[in-house]
Amino acid sequence: MLARRRRIYFWMMGGCLVLFVSAWGFVRLWSVPAAVAMCFVAMFVPPVAAMIANRRGPEDRWWDDPSGDPQSDEWWDELDGKKRRDETQ
């Protein structure tokens, strides 16, 4: 899932670069308003790409979800300050 989101992110960012570079590289020679419109569209691609890359998938584990491994969950709870470690151990 992470690899697919990363691939989509890089395709979107690559498209953003293509829009921007082509707008001012050669589209402006034919139509400046079209080049400005292409840059305007390219302006919205990075935030959308970041939202897609950072969204939570159904099988993604987040910091507050238990993993199912009791030892690992206890360790993470201790790091997060949810549980205190017994001094007798």
Asked if residue 28 is part of any domain, the answer here is yes
pTM (predicted TM-score)? 0.62
d(CA 70, CA 67) in angstroms, rounded, equals: 8
pLDDT in tens, 25-62: 999 999 999 999 999 999 999 999 999 888 877 666 66
Answer for the pair 19, 59: CB distance below 8 angstroms, yes or no: no
In which residue are the tokens 């151990």 written?
89
How many structural domains does the chain have? Answer: 1
More confident residue, 15 or 86: 15
Looking at residue 18, what is its pLDDT?
96
C-alpha of 60 from chain center: 13
Domain ranges, residue 18: 2-57
Asked if residue 76 is part of any domain, the answer here is no
Looking at residue 59, what is its pLDDT?
64
Asked if residue 75 is part of any domain, the answer here is no
